[in-house]
Structures are given as C-alpha cells and as structure tokens.
Amino acid sequence: MTGVPRKSIPLLFSAFALAGPACGGSESPPAQPVVDASADDGQVAPDAEAGSDVLEASQEAEASQNVDAPDAADAPADAAPPYAHCAPVAPLPVWAETPGTGHALIAHGPLADLHVSVLDDGTARLQYAPKGTTLPPDRAWAVTKSLPQDPAAEVTGTLEGAQVCTKWLSIQVRADGRIKVVDAASTVLMEDPAGGGWSQGSQPQDGGSPTSTVRVVRSTPPDEVFYGFGERTGPLERRGQHMVFWNTDSYQSAYGGWAPGTDPLYESIPFFVGLRETRAYGVFTNNAYRLEVDVAKAITDQYAIEAWGGIVDQYVIPGPTMAEVLQRYARLTGPAALPPRWALGYHQSRWGYSPASQLEQIGQEFRDRSIPADGLWLDIQHMDGLRTFTWDPATFPDPAGMIQALGAKGFKVIAIEDPGIKQEPGWSVYDTGLAGDHFLRKPSSELYVGVVWPGPAVFPDFTSQPARDWWGMQVGKEVKLGLRGVWLDVNEPTVFPESGGGSVPNDVPVAGEAAPTTMAEAHNVYALQEARATFEGMVQNAPDRRPFILTRAGFAGIQRYAAVWTGDAPSSWESLQQTLPMLLNLGVSGVPLVGSDVGGYSGNATPELFARWMALGSVSPFFRGHVTNGVPSQEPWAFGQEVEDLSRDLIRQRYELLPYLYSTAADSAENGSPILRPLVYEFQSDPTVYHLDDEAMVGPWLLVAPVAEKDATQRSITLPAGRWYELHSGAIYEGPTTLQLTMTLAALPVYVRQGAILPRAQSMMWSDQQPIDPFTLEVYPSTQQSSYTFYEDEGDGYESSSRITYTLHQTATGAHLSAGPRQGTFQPAPRTLLVRVRRVDHAPTQVTWDGSPMQQHADENALMQAKLGWWYDARDLSVVVAHLDTAGFALDLTYDTSIPELRPPVDVEFEVSVPAGTPTTTQVHIATSASAWAQLPLDWQTPPDKAHGFVSLPRGEWFFYKFTRGDWDTVEKWPGCVEATNRYGFASAHPVRKDTVFTWRDWCP
C-alpha cells in the first residue's frame, strides 16, 4: 500500500502583534501589563512576560501528553496519528483536498464545501461554502488581521474521512460533511449529531419574501455549560436559552427601559465559552447578519446557530482554561483598549443637566460633600436643536470655558453624540457630509432619511473609510474644545417609529469594506464602525491622550475602541438582579470595561434600591450614575444622609483600590481577561460555581457578593476552596463553604483570596488629584507561592509604563515578599511603600529588608513619621512595614504563623460627640446587639464634648448600637426629638467610628 499523503501547512501570513494597531494602523495601545496570581486551590493564573507566553506554556504541557509526530512521509494506512488525540491515519479520501493556499483542508461534502484552517495558536477556522459557490471576501470588522497559520498542521485521511491534526486539536470530517473536534486531552469539543451539521433553510420576513438562512447543528452533552453570547438578560449560564443577535433598542415605556427577559438588546457578540469535562473551549461565529442561537432549548442535546445571510464561518478556540480561550479570542478580535485611569473613577450623568451652571453646581456638590468623582456627563440637552456636534448657545454659551473650569476641580467632561445628522441644508456638518457622499442612500440612490431626536436625519456609512474620516474630523473639533470622552448612543442604529421601522432598512446599500453589501449585513457592525471612527478621530486630534468612548451598541471587537454599558435598565429590583450576570457575560465575551446606570435609568429609585445599585456599581469596571429626564435627582446625596454616607464610603473604597483596578484593566488589554469575572473563570474545576451568578471576582484576588434582594437582612455567600479573608477586618473563612450573614443597607461583602498581593492607594477626590503616596501592598501569604505583576504609568497617554512582579509566600518561620526589577521606562516620584501583612496573630520577633533588621515602632503615628521600620497592629492582627518604594527588594518577617482562632473578637474604637450641656457627672454608654444590648461605659475626652472607648465585637460582622447616658430613659434621639433608629457598624479594627448624638430622651418633651 502506498504511503498516506500528509502536508504541513506553510506560514502564509505575517504575525498579529498584540501591542500593535488593531485597525488600519490607527490604534496605539500603551504598554501592557501582566498578572500572575495563585491561591491554595492550586489554580494559577498565567505567568507571562507577554500575552502569548501563557499559551506557549499550555501548549508545551498539552503536547507533552502526546506521542512525537512521526515522519510525514510514507505513513501506512491505519498508522499511528501524529498526536494521541488525533484519529488513526488512513488514505486521504478523494473528496478531500489540501490546496496549500491558506486552508489546510477543503472537504467537498454533499451540501457544502468545508474549508478548514488552523492558526498558529491552535484556533481552528471552519468555513462552509454552499455547493457551487466560493468563499466571500473577509471583512475586517471583528477580525481585523490576517493571522499566521500553524506550519505544523498535518492533513491525513482517517477511517471515517479526513482530519487536520495539530498539537491542540484534531478536526475530523466525515464524508457526509459532519465534523468532530477533539482537544489535546481527547475531550470532544464539537460534534455534529446524525442529521445535524450544516444545512440551508429560510426564515419569514415581515412584509417581504422569506430570507435564505444557513445553520449548523451540534451535539451537546447534558453536563456542558455555556457562557458569553454578549449582552443578555437572564442567567449567567446560557444552556436552555434561545437568543437573537440583532442590535435593538428595546425600550418599553411601561418599564422605562428594557423589560425583564428582553431579547435581543443592544449588543450582538456571537461568541461563547463552553465547558466540557471541566475543559474550556470557545466558538466565535464570524457572521454579522442576524443570528439566532438555540442552546439546548428546542432539542435538549443539541445547539443550533442560524444566520440570516452570509456563510457559517466559525473559529473554534481551544483552552483548556477559560483564561486561555479569552486570550486567544482577544488575539483574534483585537485587544481591549486600556482606558485612561480617570475612566475607572466615579462618573455622574443624567439626561437634563442644563444649563452649564447646573453641571458646574453638580461638580461643586461632589467636592463640598467630599464624595470622589472624575467624570461629569452631558446628554442630548447640551445640543443646539438636538443636533449632533453642536452646543446650545443659550444654555452652554462657552463650552470650552466650562470644561476648563470643571477641569480645574478635577472633572473630565464627556458628551453624547448620536449618529443621526439632522437634514438641514446650510448647516456645515450636514453640508460637508453630503458633499463627501458620506450618508446612507436607498437602493434608488436617494438619501435615506429617518426620524430621530432632531427630526428628519441622515446617517453616515461607517463601513466607508472616507465617511469615518469625516466623522473623526467632527469628533476632533469636540475634543479640541476639551471633551475628554465621547458617549455613543442610539447607534443600533435606532430610528423612531414614524420612520416606518425601528432601524435603517436592511436593503440600504453600504460600502462594506472588502466589497459592497447592505444593512442586512452591516446593521450589527454599525456601532462598531462608528466607535472605530470616533476612536481614530480622537487619536488623530489628541495623540497624547488615550481615547475614552462609551457605546450602547456593538459587535465582536467593540473592546478595541469602547466601554459598554447595559443601556436603559429600569429602576427596579428585577433589573438590578439581572445586571451582574449581564456584566459577567459581557466580560466573558471579550468586553472587559462594562457597567450599568447606577440606580437604574427610569428613575424614582427608592433609597434602598439606589444603595444596593451603588454597591454593585462600585465593583463594576465602569462606574456611572445615570437617569432619565423628568424624574427626581439621582445623585448620591439625593436619598438622605444614610445613603449619601454609604455612597461616599463605597466610592472612597473604589478610589483606594484604583491601583489594583487599573492594573487589572491593563492585564485585560494584554491578555483578554475580564476585570469583573464569574467565579467559574477562576475556579473552573468546581461545578458548584458553574451557575453562580450573584457573586463575582474582581481581578484574581477579590470575591464580591453584592446584595440585590429587596428588604434583605441576610445574604448567602458561597466561598470556593481555599482560605478567604474579609477585606476590612481580616476575619478568616475556610472554603469551600456557604456563609449566611447579616446584611445592613451599607453591606458589600468582599473577600480576599489567600495568596493575594493587593495594591492600594490613599483615597482621593479624583483619580489624579495627587501622586500615590504612600503606595500600599496588602499581602496575604500562603504556603503556596503566589505572584502579581503590578502595572503603572502616568494614567494617560502612551509615553511610558512599567511593571514590577512581586512574589509572596508563607515560610516555616514567617513570610517572604520580594520584588523583581522595574521593567519599563515609567518611574514614579519618590514615595513611601507600606506593606501590610495579614493575618499575623503573633507579634513578629524580627523584620528584615534585604537582610538588614528594621526598627520596630510603638504605633502607627511613629511609623508614619519615620517612614521606615515596622509596627505590629495587635487589634487588626497585621504587620505594617514602611520603606522607600523601590524595586528589587526582599522583605522577610519572622513570626509564629499559627492562627489560634479564625475570627477572634476585635476591639472597635468609638468616638462620639455629644450635645452641649451633657452632664459630665454621668458617663456616655454604648449598647450593642452583640452584647445583648447591655450598656457599656465610654470615657470622657478633654475637653468634655466627646466620649471615647473600645468595644469588643465579633470580627467581620455587622452589629447595631445606640448611645445612652447609662439607662434607656436617657437614650439618644434624632434632631427634633425623633425616635432614633439603631445605628449600625462593621466590626473591624479600623477606622475609628465617629458619631454624633443630637439630643437625649430625657431632654425631650
């Protein structure tokens, strides 16, 4: 028998550079970060100097499980395959060919020709061309680069057909066209059932003839779970769902936004991550036409993907971890843009801030109330006649002056721009667009005119480079006024009902990049291309700043240009409950910078609802309050003192964590990792978290569990395997476990994963108010070594950046933290480094820096005055070390590492101001729920207008309390002698709880 032919596919295309331009050479992402995190459960996040290293390490590990590939020459029939996960080798069938033109294999099936190619990172591309047709040209929309092929991919026959065999995957094709894809562990990732695979069909259209469709049907085992699919209401895990991919403004007046369970919404991202046998893989369907996806709903052991035009073009992305899948997906569709640091601060918006003086007053309120904020946003009310790229001369007569004045107080101004351009001859924006032929036209060549906010309007063809250049020029004028960001809305695109429909008709022609097409194909990418045009215009006109863009609509690849928010979310509990899984699935869909309208868009939120949404917003990647017009104010101070205070605390915590959030965002730009990620991303081998969608991880270290139930006083929290520390108190919980905890209105449970190296800053009123000094690392040593690469730069621009990798582990005699060299050109100003080590239940006997003993200080004040040495915080059970911040150090602590009690009581410090005239002959007392309301005396301070003391309370728990003068007849009252409700607090060593008593019961009538 003659040898079986095999071919190695040559490297045909130039490499895609993760740090290079994502589109047409116009993007210039800054230097990128790397995160390496590990914890006691043994799951280790990628350790990489560059984004591809994690893939290479995984590839070597996977390949080591396989036999060495035999010589391709003269392999006999039924010979061993090149790798163990590939099918036995047989002669190549006559219906299969190896063209060597960028496709490893073309399998000529009875209904379609399947073109198979494999990229050099193991991603396989499957393109189905119906019989008698050729593949259409690639459009640079989602996938903007030609990626190199795998030069070692081998094509062979099998006993059932043909296969492409690589060290990552085996793509097997049968004579009837059905396929099977197997990964390096021999796990079947994709398989067509009998009667399944590729087929053609049709779907009815409103008011027209049926449209032709193409579809694929794949098998799914009963335990497979699915994540992603872009912006979706409903549960995190998507099995049992039917989804439509068609960007839609789904506003319903009855809800003041989208209704619970609405589908579709504004974003269409046809990408999912599946888990089979705990191994992850991804599938991206590269088709911009309307899609419908049924995930085991119609038939419980199958999923189907149907496109209303074009071809089935799918990328099958191997793992085996979700992190590796998303890294490959980011390489395919382009890395996320790293936002300026201020974009991660708090933002305030509403439809209705007008005139300019009102916006300036809002900014002043934030500063006067000491609530941190970075961004102030303007909706359409700032425009002249609701026309895009204009300012109302009556209400905003000097936009540049207003922006400059707000900038002096630390605020950046962001304004909305809609795609509909008012049809108004004589207006320069319309006239120049018309002269350049940049607007959509009907098949008859007449301008397409739809009704939007300013009335009859025309729409740019964003698939045309000249139209994008024109739009970018208009954006540039706004940027030169001082705008620091652009907000893109109603860009599905939406037109009002009087236009005869909800969007631009499908038959409207567009340029289409590689070849002309219609809005039937371009509808879903309209917003993507608008964001591209906006991004390019901002780069061109402000090259020393990173663009910040927020978009409502988008498609796969939108992360290259913009952040995304969940649109018109009603102010309801149902909407709040759906928000976290929506954000998580967007993150798994490759869009890391995501958020929602805090408080809900429709307005009239209750104080409780706003407080709970504020907590969720504070741990969301993008953090903005927004509300519609004609409803009550929805700023943090609009709901009473309690909500204002807790909002201030939540926002301050956000700003203290900005170094961590910014470094995590930079890792997203490098590796495709979500900022806000489902627990399954970090704990992929734990099935108990597969459907958990009311908790999340922020980066690799923090588990957050926002409260989203009305009137909640208890919260169930799942902690996966490993040791967890409550963020504020250091209380320890051993996972896996489920907690049932008391919750107050201010509660936002946050737990730190053991092994964490958590960078923090001092609280600021805005993100770049002052340099970070001191720079704090909170570290939680584990017996398993962990490491974290901290990214840092100027906070904007592209000039310089740097990274330092810290390594941490608990030793037999204490703990060791080391810092590698600073890599990169950014050098922060001299500052103090504070290292807080948790938990240390026994005072250290020695602390050394690079081998030299450090001085112990008696208290925190002495340490901060010296800025060198260490202090044992006996109440917090931690050690604080101070030193000049530098790279390349070794810090060693010697102490007894035993933990006698996981959650020992903590002495909480109280300071209470009392009303003038309070007699000093009796002591002020405090009564707490933790002491069964027994009244404990506090000490008078000098002068005698304050009382002070420590109360032992259960560490890491909420408690309630009141002040008295020794008996309940003298209990405190609110102003006006109103009955005082119970105060509440959280039991941690810091900060001091400072309260004010307004009056006493025995002083009231």
Cα 454 to Cα 438, 496, 825: the distances in Å are 19, 11, 49
Q: What angle do CA 407, 409, 414 make, to 5 degrees?
A: 40
Determine how many CB atoms are found less than 10 A away from the CB of residue 76: 13
Q: Give the whole-angstrom CA distance, residue 251 versus residue 570.
A: 9
Question: Are the beta carbons of 315 and 267 closer than 8 angstroms?
Answer: no
236: number of CA atoms within 13 Å, CB side? Answer: 20
Question: Are the beta carbons of 803 and 33 closer than 8 angstroms?
Answer: yes
Q: How far from chain centre, in Å, is Cα 330?
A: 14
Catalytic residue among 62, 150, 492, 796: 492
Q: Give the whole-angstrom CA distance, residue 225 versus residue 242.
A: 14
Q: What angle do CA 42, 46, 52 make, to 5 degrees?
A: 150
- Identity at 990, one-letter amino acid code: H
The phi-psi region of residue 600 (left if phi > 0; otherwise alpha if psi is between -120 and 50; otherwise beta) is left
Cα 825 to Cα 31, 461, 804, 821: the distances in Å are 10, 41, 12, 12
Q: How far from chain centre, in Å, is Cα 744?
A: 27
Cα 411 to Cα 170, 343, 376, 652, 810: the distances in Å are 54, 11, 7, 16, 43
Catalytic residue among 489, 792, 841, 885: 489
Q: What is the DSSP letter of 981?
A: P
Residue 157, strand partner residues? 90, 162
Reading across the β-sheet that carries 208-219, which strands appear in turn?
Answer: 197-205, 208-219, 302-307, 291-295, 241-245
Q: Give the whole-angstrom CA distance, residue 948 versus residue 994.
A: 9
Structure tokens at 542: 């402000």
Q: SS3 string of 575-644? A: HHHHHHHHHHHHHHCCCCCEECEECCCCCCCCHHHHHHHHHHHHCCCCEEECCCCCCCCCCCCCCCHHHH
465: number of CA atoms within 13 Å, CB side? Answer: 7
Helix (H, G, I), strand (E, B) or coil at 400: helix
Q: What is the DSSP letter of 95?
A: T
| Whether residue 492 lies in the annotated active site | yes
Cα 638 to Cα 351, 605, 620, 710: the distances in Å are 16, 10, 22, 20
β pairing state of 563-565 and 549-551: parallel
Q: How far apart are the first and last CA of the chain?
A: 109
Catalytic residue among 154, 237, 568, 667: 568
Strand spans (E) along 323-474: 346-348, 375-378, 412-417, 421-422, 450-452, 455-458
Residue 818, strand partner residues? 807, 890
Strand spans (E) along 765-877: 775-779, 786-793, 801-811, 814-819, 823-824, 832-838, 846-849, 852-853, 869-873
Q: What angle do CA 43, 48, 49 make, to 5 degrees?
A: 165
Structure tokens at 835: 């290292």
Q: Give the whole-angstrom CA distance, residue 273 versus residue 281.
A: 6
Count of residues in the chain: 1005
Residues tagged active-site: 489, 492, 568
